[in-house]
Amino acid sequence: MFFPQFRARRIRGNEVFRRMVRETALSVDDLVYPMFSAFGSGIKKEISSMPGIYQQSIEHIVTDAREAYDLGIPAVLLFGIPETKDAVGSDAYSDTGIIQETVRAIKRAVPGLVVITDVCMCEYTDHGHCGIIKDGDVDNDSTLELLAREALSHVRAGADMVAPSDMMDGRVAAIREVLDENGFDKIPIMSYAVKYASGYYGPFREAAESTPQFGDRRSYQMDPANRLEALREAAADIEEGADIIMVKPGLPYLDILRDLRNEYNLPLAVYNVSGEYSMIKAAAGNGWIDEQRVVLETMLGFKRAGADIIITYHAKDVARWLKKG
């Protein structure tokens, strides 16, 4: 059926009809809010490249977490900035590490909020890489033991879910084995299954103070040119026991998100990363775009491409906008 019998504008011209046939829905239940916990007290330092996002000491993190929960956001994702860093990232798996203490504080204050912890070494090592350095590169197998120890320490502190982001081969299996052996078989793993070596991470490295002191992360993060490799990476993590798989970054990799949605029936997350956030904030700050409209359109794009979960620094704003209708 073609024009003039078919007129798409018959539906588009009526707001009620548009709502009735809308194919993709965005909900506050889709959102995860990332937060940066810093060692010390009285700290609330805005990240210069990420307006509205802060490095915060635990008392402020708890307040922020409560606000997210009151807005209906179901979960937060924690990153830590420790007091000191060393070559083996020892704060990452210390029982009194910054993340462990933050998890305890949030769970005491806001027990209904799901706490997810990022499991990696880059925030805790003095060299800024995601594992143990040998011969000028990250040694995969010796790093696995530390990642497993880190995940276990987070769960013992009360984390509801762990999210390994390091991109070491075999890390999901190593973490799953250690959690199961210690009676935490019910704790899910959200794997950064498909994480590209991306230029979009720049503002995050300021926020987490995790810039590599030499080289880059291309020997363990994925080449942006590769598409089929994403299917292999996701398949490996699923086989090793991942409960949720993730694509990171989001906007430049919507094709990858759709590929994974078509291929697998596991819950699928996307990380709307710092560089994506900062670009929208910068454009909105200059009056070039309508921030609310562009952010909500971006979130719908992730959902339309297949995401079940959206990790985004916009989460609190999105929750407020959705509440207003």
Show which residues are catalytic: 195, 248
Q: Per-residue DSSP letters for 58-79?
A: HHHHHHHHHHHHHTT--EEEEE
Continuous segment of H or E residues that includes residue 148: helix 140-157
Going by their DSSP bridges, the two strands 75-81 and 31-38 should be labelled as parallel
Going by their DSSP bridges, the two strands 190-195 and 309-312 should be labelled as unpaired
Across 135-159, b (16+ Cβ under 10 Å) vs e yields eeebebeebbebbbbbbbbbbebbb
Q: How far apart are CA 7 and CA 3, in angstroms?
A: 6
Classify burial at 175, counting beta carbons within 10 Å of its beta carbon; exposed 0-12, middle 13-18, buried 19 or more. Answer: buried
